[in-house]
Chain A
Amino acid sequence: MWLHTINPSVKMITILLTIIVLALFLDPVLYLVFWLGIITITFTLSKVSFKIWALLTAPFVFMAIGYVWTAMLFPNEALLADEQMLFEWGWLRLTEESLARSAGLGMRVIVFSALSLLFVLTTKPVLFMLSLMQQLKVPTRLAYGVMAGYQFLPLIKEEFQIMQRAQQIRGVGRPRTLKERVRQWKSFIIPLLASAIRKAERTAIAMESKGFTGEARTHWYTEIPLRKRDGLFVCLLAGLFFTAYAASAVL
């Protein structure tokens, strides 16, 4: 519950900074401890469903595995030179350090995904946009423009389905070769873009005719406050980082 009420801008910047700081290390132990901490925070302080979380994490696990074996098969030879050889078979050469680096790269993907999910699963899109305007001073014309564009999403989807059905009725078969596939893709994307641009023009005229000027505002209908808990959230992640750092130094 608590995580859902943190200010979206604060949440975003904290998570971005954490990711950038974590990227300065390549240490599987630090990452593992940090990851466990993030999972604990996610599931004790929010009402994120484990099923959805696991489903969204799954692709990152595959990505992480890809990083691990790529790093094992194609290590940076310059780093390998003065390290203790652990295992050698054909041109596959593993050292203790290169193994740790591979595990670190994989673990990094998983940690980053856990941090991202912490944001994505606890932040409402509209509140996020409002917070960008109120705290990060994103120009209102741009932010409301983006929100208007975002509202088109279901319309564009509906139009896509209509076009798909229209093509089916007229006997356009499923594309078989790559050339046909590209042609079909073009036959969808250009009409979709054209109608999206027409919609955008109508929306802009409607917004302006109703008096939207995009001036900077001082008052908001929905105010996104900055509270003490936002500071607490920053401290929580910073504390977790130092715990993980200490744990990795001890081990």
Chain B
Amino acid sequence: MTSKWKLSEIIILSVLAVVFAVVYLAFVQVGNVMAGMMGPIGYEWIFGIWFIVSIIAAYILRKPGAAFLSETVAGTIEVLIGNAMGPMLIVSAMIQGAGAEAVFAATRYKRWGLWVLMLAGMGSAVTSFIWGYFISGYGALDPGYVTLMFTIRLVSGALLAGLLGKWLTDGLYQTGVLNSYAIARDKKKASYGKAS
């Protein structure tokens, strides 16, 4: 998957994953406090933040595999830092990344508007919820309650991953550090198109 990538792209994917692995771990603490008060539904409100690196990496690099790999690497780095959830985190990360990747693949990696990014966040929400349903045994809970959890996670995925991810990346783009990546190529093409 990475054989055609430039080394700089791979390392950028890794540093994005490092920064967001730290953010993710911070949010695990927030989630734990919320879950302590509300039970497992406490995580759902902020679940989207755990998909954000997929959106950002794919939006910058615009390559097949960017969403899946960045999330997987972020999960691996969380384990390297020493998160107590251990190897399960890598599996959940792969499943979350696959959800976003599927949405980008459906657009053939050609559309990068806000709606696509929000849909990708929701894609991660869907796959991660199916996995969570199995591994956490939601079958024992009231279906209405589980539906509520799922709805919150979908909204959270769209907003905290899709919307926030686009907002952050666009801010990052303005600093000029992304000028040699696919995002700049597409954005410049669009602005030339307008000028002529």
Residues of A near any B CB (own CB < 8 A): 12, 15-16, 19-20, 23, 26, 56-57, 59-60, 62-63, 65-67, 69-71, 74-79, 98, 101-102, 104-105, 108-109, 112-113, 115-117, 119-120, 125, 128-129, 139, 141-142, 145-146, 148-150, 152-153, 156, 186, 189-194, 196-201, 203-205, 207-208, 212, 214
Residues of B near any A CB (own CB < 8 A): 1-3, 5-8, 10-19, 22-23, 32, 35-36, 38-42, 69, 73, 76-77, 79-88, 90-91, 134-137, 139-145, 168, 171-172, 175, 177-178
Interchain CB contact under 8 A, B84 and A59: yes
Interchain CB contact under 8 A, A70 and B18: no
Counting chain B CB atoms within 10 Å of each CB, the highest count among A23, A101, A145, A208 belongs to: A145
Of A128, A198, A214, the residue contacting B177 (CB under 8 A) is A198
Interchain CB contact under 8 A, B84 and A129: no
Interchain CB contact under 8 A, B81 and A153: yes
CB A102 to nearest CB in B, in angstroms, measures 7
Interchain CB contact under 8 A, A149 and B14: yes
Interchain CB contact under 8 A, A149 and B143: no
Q: Point out the residues of chain B lying under 8 angstroms from A66, CB to CB.
A: 35-36, 38-40, 42
CB A161 to nearest CB in B, in angstroms, measures 13
Interchain CB contact under 8 A, A116 and B86: yes
Interchain CB contact under 8 A, A149 and B15: yes
Interchain CB contact under 8 A, A146 and B87: no
With A190-B168, A197-B178 known as contacts, the answer to whether A148 contacts B84 (CB < 8 A) is no
Interchain CB contact under 8 A, A76 and B10: no
Interchain CB contact under 8 A, B36 and A71: no
A148 to B, closest residue via Cβ:
B11
25 A-B pairs with CB atoms under 8 Å apart are A59-B32, A59-B84, A63-B36, A75-B142, A98-B140, A101-B137, A105-B137, A116-B87, A117-B86, A120-B86, A125-B82, A128-B79, A128-B80, A141-B3, A145-B11, A146-B14, A149-B14, A189-B19, A190-B172, A193-B16, A193-B19, A197-B12, A197-B172, A199-B15, A208-B7
